[in-house]
Structures are given as C-alpha cells and as structure tokens.
C-alpha cells in the first residue's frame, strides 16, 4: 500500500471499498472454516505497531471460530449480525464496539439478510489463531446460547 494522504471511500461499490485498497481473501493457506468474508488492510506501516483491517462478511457468512493471545478491537461499520466472545453471544450493528480479550474464543456472523462489515485493530506482530478441538467445542456447546449461535452454520 502506498502512502497516499487521502484514500477515497468508494460509495458506489456494493461492498465497502477504498481507493487502491485490494480486496483480499479473508485467510489464505489455512483449512480454518469460514464463509463469505473478505479482508482489506487499511493501515499497515512499519512505524506503527498495529494494523487496521476492514472485514466484510456477506449475508449468511461467518468468520473462523478461533482464539489467540493477541486482542481485537472491533468497530462495526455496516450491517448487522451476532458475535460470540467467550461464552457470550451478542447482537451487533453499525458503530457498536467489540473487544476480544486474549485467549478468548470468538466468531462474527452476518445476519441472514444483511452483511456485517467491521474494522478490526490488531498488533502487527501476533500469534497464530488456535482452532477449537472437539473437547473445546463440546464445552462451548454446553452453553445453550453458544450452541444456538454455532448451529446457525447449518442454515
Ligand atoms: Mn481472531
């Protein structure tokens, strides 16, 4: 990404886009499950120790269920959906803020009929996400609201 002072928002695009910012696969080289989600890196500089990314989950899509040592600071910019943070499930919409603490299971899901777009701030240097093993999954599913959240996979 070049150091252009102002990068215009593309108000005409169907998904949120910024001038000269490539729309990338959410993750590459991984078998981690996810659906209908793209990634744009908005800010990434050697002199900043963080990165700001924009993720857009299409209607019915979801991010990977994962946890890691690094934290996420999330600001929803468009649409609506639900998030799992730990064993809590929350409905979220535009301008809500979500904090994902270290080592906390998390997943973002768009509503069935609306996208979910959010900014996510992370450390530039961060550990790799861990996926739940069957034991961790069964522990999560023991919480009814979490079981219901995870079951929306099958829709
Ligand atoms: Mn994560």
Told to judge if 83 belongs to the known catalytic residues of this protein, a careful annotator would answer no
Query: Which among 44, 35, 60, 154 has a CA at the least distance from the CA of 115?
Result: 60
Q: Residue 152: what pLDDT? A: 80
Gap from CA of 139 to ligand 1 centroid (Å): 19
User: Is the model's pLDDT at 15 over the cut of 70?
Assistant: yes
Average pLDDT of every residue of the chain: 93
Gap from CA of 131 to ligand 1 centroid (Å): 10
Gap from CA of 95 to ligand 1 centroid (Å): 19
Q: From the candidates 65, 76, 89, 120, which is the catalytic residue?
A: 120
Q: Residue 12: what pLDDT? A: 84
Calpha distance 135→85 (Å, rounded)? 18
pLDDT digits (tens, 9 = 90+) for 40-90: 999 999 999 999 999 999 999 999 999 999 999 999 999 999 999 999 999
What does 62-100 look like in DSSP terms, one character per residue? EPPPBB-SS-EEEEEEEEEEEEEETTEEEEEETT-EEEE
Average of pLDDT values for 122-144?
A: 96
Q: Residue 32: what pLDDT? A: 76
Domains in the chain with CATH codes: 24-150 (2.60.120.10)
Gap from CA of 21 to ligand 1 centroid (Å): 21
Contact 59/115 with Cβ under 8 angstroms? yes
Q: Residue 155: what pLDDT? A: 45
Gap from CA of 9 to ligand 1 centroid (Å): 25
pLDDT digits (tens, 9 = 90+) for 17-34: 999 999 998 876 667 788
**φ and ψ at residue 75, rounded to 5 degrees:** -125, 115
Helix axes 134-141, 144-151, angle to 10 degrees: 120
Q: How many CA atoms lie within 13 A of 52 on its CB side?
A: 8
Gap from CA of 40 to ligand 1 centroid (Å): 15
pLDDT digits (tens, 9 = 90+) for 107-120: 999 999 999 999 99
What pTM was computed for the model? 0.93
User: Is the model's pLDDT at 13 over the cut of 90?
Assistant: no
């Amino acid at each position: 990404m070049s150091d252009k002072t102002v990068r215009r928002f593309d108000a005409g695009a169907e998904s949120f886009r910024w001038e000269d910012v490539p729309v990338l696969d959410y993750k590459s080289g991984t078998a981690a499950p996810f659906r209908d989600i793209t990634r744009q890196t908005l800010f990434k500089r050697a002199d900043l120790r963080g990165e700001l990314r924009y993720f857009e989950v299409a209607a019915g899509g979801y991010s990977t269920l994962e946890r890691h040592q690094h934290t996420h600071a999330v600001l929803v910019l468009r649409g609506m959906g639900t998030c799992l943070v730990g064993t809590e499930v929350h409905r979220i919409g535009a301008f809500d803020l979500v904090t994902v603490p270290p080592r906390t299971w998390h997943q973002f899901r768009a509503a069935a009929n609306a996208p979910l777009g959010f900014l996510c701030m992370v450390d530039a240097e961060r550990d790799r996400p861990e996926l739940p093993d069957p034991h961790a999954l069964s522990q999560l599913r023991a919480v009814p609201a979490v079981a219901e959240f995870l079951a929306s996979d099958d829709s």
